[in-house]
């Protein structure tokens, strides 16, 4: 696993290893104000490591941007102390922490948007869902954004980036993946506009540029990353030629000199595991168009993570599921130690159980030794 543990520089920062905590929506904020909870600070603090990078779960930039009850948000002052507790917990262990920023677009419900219809580039029917107090329900009918409304959404991203800076984050990541609003603008299956934000690629990428430039205005390009999902279908997105589209996106992002490009490798509707013998399709062709560090994500295990870094298709690997149940995942990977199985039932919402109560390998071995001693002395 040596390749995963070579130092690397991303933007303004030097990392001691290449095992990244992927952003995972865990739905554990304090309601009704989406305040980051103490158990979230525990979760991220536990998974921090000296010179390691964590990307904190997607935070909505406004009320209109919200999609899931219990998901993170960063749009009012009452949330700031909760965010500071998370950055302080990560920094206490020598880690770096970025916050992912999101607008859910049409993947929402009127209960989550404050009563207004969810918004999108265009009205294109789809079978999406949102999470409300009644559980997962069909998304509300959406409407197309007026061109005059777009600057206000860009400003929401800028304001959220400033709040993240004030809360002590080391940078931000723009969520331009998984069928949320930025991705909806990029892909021609969801963007059927005929104005300056639709049609040719340069128009469909305009909203991406504007939101990215808003984040850069706060942070500088070397402290901003972008996540994309070139082959993703989540949220009903599609594109007539994804390789051409996302090669162009990669070139655009490269021109800004951002800290990294975060790529979700091909999966069916975002659910299937990428096995170690699965080809790294997206990063392979994107590498030709993006000269900076690339983070690969998408169901990686120990072997596939090592292989993609060794191949040069990616420079770092983001882990979600395995990191959820192994707070010391970099240590376990480095020393080839067994991994604790993740608990899918606890992924979306719940308590500390199967969330922030997983033990490190050393702690679990100590507990096992205690139990063995108790058994022998019984």
Closest CA to 131 of 349, 344, 320: 349
The number of residues making up the chain comes to: 378
Q: Is the dihedral of CA 214, 218, 221, 225 positive or negative?
A: negative
CA dist 233 and 151 (Å) reads 27
Q: Can you read off the two tokens belonging to residue 365?
A: 């071995």
Q: Which residues are catalytic?
A: 180
Closest CA to 197 of 105, 127, 88: 105
- Which residues fall within 8 angstroms of residue 373, CB to CB, at 6 or more apart? none
Q: Is the dihedral of CA 46, 26, 19, 172 positive or negative?
A: negative
């Amino acid at each position: 696993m040596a390749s995963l543990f070579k130092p690397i520089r991303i933007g303004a920062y030097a990392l001691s290893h290449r095992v990244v905590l992927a952003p995972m929506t865990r739905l554990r904020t304090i309601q009704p104000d989406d305040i980051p909870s103490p158990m979230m600070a525990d979760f991220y603090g536990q998974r921090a490591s000296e010179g390691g990078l964590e990307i904190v779960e997607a935070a909505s930039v406004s009320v209109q941007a919200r999609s899931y009850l219990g998901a993170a948000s960063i749009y009012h002052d009452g949330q700031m102390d909760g965010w500071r507790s998370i950055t302080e917990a990560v920094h206490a262990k020598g880690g770096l922490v970025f916050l992912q920023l999101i607008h859910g677009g049409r993947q929402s419900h009127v209960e989550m948007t404050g009563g207004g219809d969810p918004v999108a580039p265009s009205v294109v029917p789809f079978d999406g869902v949102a999470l409300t107090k009644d559980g997962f329900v069909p998304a509300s009918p959406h409407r197309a954004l007026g061109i005059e409304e777009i600057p206000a959404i860009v400003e929401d991203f800028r304001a959220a980036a400033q709040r993240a800076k004030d809360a002590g984050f080391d940078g931000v990541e723009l969520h331009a993946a998984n069928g949320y609003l930025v991705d909806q603008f990029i892909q021609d299956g969801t963007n059927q506009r005929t104005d300056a934000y639709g049609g040719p690629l340069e128009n469909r990428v305009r909203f991406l540029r504007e939101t990215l430039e808003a984040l850069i205005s706060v942070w500088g390009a070397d402290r901003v990353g972008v996540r994309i999902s070139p082959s993703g279908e989540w949220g009903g997105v599609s594109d007539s030629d994804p390789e051409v589209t996302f090669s162009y996106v990669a070139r655009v992002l490269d021109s800004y000199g951002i800290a990294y490009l975060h790529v979700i490798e091909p999966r069916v509707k975002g659910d299937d595991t990428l096995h170690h013998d699965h080809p790294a399709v997206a990063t392979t062709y994107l590498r030709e168009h993006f000269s900076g560090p690339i983070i690969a994500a998408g169901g990686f295990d120990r072997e596939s993570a090592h292989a993609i870094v060794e191949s040069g298709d990616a420079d770092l690997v983001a882990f979600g599921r395995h990191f959820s149940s192994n707070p010391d995942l970099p240590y376990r990977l480095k020393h080839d130690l067994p991994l604790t199985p993740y608990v899918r039932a606890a992924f979306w919402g719940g308590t500390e159980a199967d969330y922030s109560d997983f033990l490190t390998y050393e702690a679990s071995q100590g507990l096992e030794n205690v139990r063995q001693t108790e058994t022998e002395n019984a």
